[in-house]
Amino acid sequence: MQDVLNPIPQTQDVPQDWRLAPVEPELWAALWSPIYDLRIQHSRSNARTNFVYDVDRGELAGRRYATGWQLVQQANHKLSARLGLDSLNRLHSGYATWDFELKSYVHRPGQVAITDHLQDFRGSHHEAVGETIYIPRALLGLPQHSAIGPIVESEDTILGETLAGEMSRFFDEPARSEFDSDTLLHVARSFIAQNRHPVSERAGWWRARNEIIRKYIEANLGDQSLLPAKICSLFNLSRATLYRMFEDDGGVRRYIQDRRLHCAIWDLADGGIKRGRLTHVSEKWGFSSNANFNRAVKLAFSMPPGALFAEGSYVPPVRLGSRRELFPTFDWFLKESEQASMRALRV
């Protein structure tokens, strides 16, 4: 195994100035191990590689990545609570679905999301090319033991566009140069404050209604009659208003389909694929037939359910050894964990 990372080859829909380099599945699993456990992993390239670029900016660290299809869940709740991290997240292409204790959502290109690692979570990546910046909660003015739900903002808004620009600057400046994080942190704090205290009564109504509808959808995913017309009638909304609420999700039908599929796949991951399980799971999560469920899985993962969970889809992490210096974000996690442990001992 080589000790230096070669640049990523020309790959469709991956920005060529992102400086991504290929890593094999076992190393990929190791790099994410402080944050995620990978339940299944199907690499992005035919050479069984995903791609990564790490940046350590001292008080902050970040990672750009390109992956195939994978299921991930929180690696260690106690470690996450001790680290006390939040993350800023963007996607260039593909999509991701996430379940946090306080909120579930689908992340698509054109959105910026802040997520809180104090909560248990699980998720899936679908041919995702994205970037994440990890920030200690203290730098965001957040209490150490009070979690916040995921906050998702369109990059079409002034705040979303500004935060997206700061994230690009974080990664695009030379790796060893001094990075002024004041603007990024100020915008992130504003991002959180605006979510807690809407700028107008109308904005507060819109956000509250949006959250109520999403919770209703989440509680009724197994109902095959869960359709836009039913939601409009129940919440006294026009179709146009409902569409605007879910425009960034590709519409409410697409959102429901993505959430159903995500829950069904995790049901299979937890319970296994045994005789009769596919039928049970497809019916439980609102799919009209096995054929429709199989078709949805193939569209989302480019393979049927059986192949998704086939032998070899779980890849255990390896020790990084001498290659650790090539991945500074991994060492940053370890450093933050050690510092958090020292603070806990002093208390």
The answer to which of 13-17, 135-139, 149-153 has the lowest mean pLDDT is 13-17
* Per-residue pLDDT at 7 exceeds 90: no
**C-alpha separations of 38 from 17, 62, 263, 311 in Å:** 27, 19, 16, 14
Closest of 52, 130, 48, 17 to residue 328, by C-alpha: 52
What is the pLDDT at residue 12? 55
The answer to which of 161-170, 215-224, 233-242, 321-330 has the lowest mean pLDDT is 321-330
* Per-residue pLDDT at 147 exceeds 90: no
* Mean pLDDT, all residues of the chain: 86
CATH topology of domain 16-197+321-346: Jelly Rolls (2.60.120)
* Per-residue pLDDT at 4 exceeds 60: no
Which one-letter DSSP state was computed for residue 123? Answer: E
Structure tokens at 173: 């400046």
pLDDT tens for residues 47-58? 889 999 999 999
What is the pLDDT at residue 5? 38
- Confidence at 341, pLDDT banded by 50, 70, 90: low
Tell me the β-bridge partners of 104: 99
What is the rounded CA–CA span in Å between residue 132 and residue 34?
Answer: 14
3-state secondary structure of 175: coil
pLDDT tens for residues 81-100? 667 889 999 999 999 999 99
For β-strands 36-42 and 50-56, DSSP reports them as unpaired
What is the pLDDT at residue 311? 77
Q: What is the pTM of this model?
A: 0.88
* Per-residue pLDDT at 274 exceeds 50: yes
The contacts of residue 126 (CB under 8 Å, 6+ apart) are 69, 94, 95, 96, 97, 300, 301
What is the pLDDT at residue 238? 94
* Per-residue pLDDT at 44 exceeds 50: yes
Q: Where in the chain is the domain with CATH 1.10.10.60?
A: 202-308
The answer to which of 38-52, 69-83, 102-116, 185-199 has the lowest mean pLDDT is 69-83
Mean local confidence (pLDDT), 239-244: 92
Sign of the torsion angle spanned by Cα atoms 1, 43, 163, 205: negative
- Confidence at 3, pLDDT banded by 50, 70, 90: very low
Mean local confidence (pLDDT), 37-63: 91
What is the pLDDT at residue 344? 57
What is the rounded CA–CA span in Å between residue 45 and residue 283?
Answer: 33
Closest of 295, 340, 274 to residue 118, by C-alpha: 340
The answer to which of 140-144, 201-205, 292-296 has the lowest mean pLDDT is 201-205
Domain 202-308: assigned CATH number: 1.10.10.60
Mean local confidence (pLDDT), 34-50: 87
Q: Where in the chain is the domain with CATH 2.60.120.10?
A: 16-197+321-346
Higher pLDDT, 196 or 215: 215
Mean local confidence (pLDDT), 267-271: 89
The answer to which of 201-205, 232-236, 269-273, 277-281 has the lowest mean pLDDT is 201-205
Sign of the torsion angle spanned by Cα atoms 70, 73, 75, 81: positive
pLDDT tens for residues 124-140? 999 999 999 999 988 99
Per the CB < 8 A criterion, the answer to whether 315 and 26 are in contact is yes
- Confidence at 160, pLDDT banded by 50, 70, 90: very high
Per the CB < 8 A criterion, the answer to whether 131 and 329 are in contact is no
What is the pLDDT at residue 82? 67
pLDDT tens for residues 226-235? 999 999 999 9
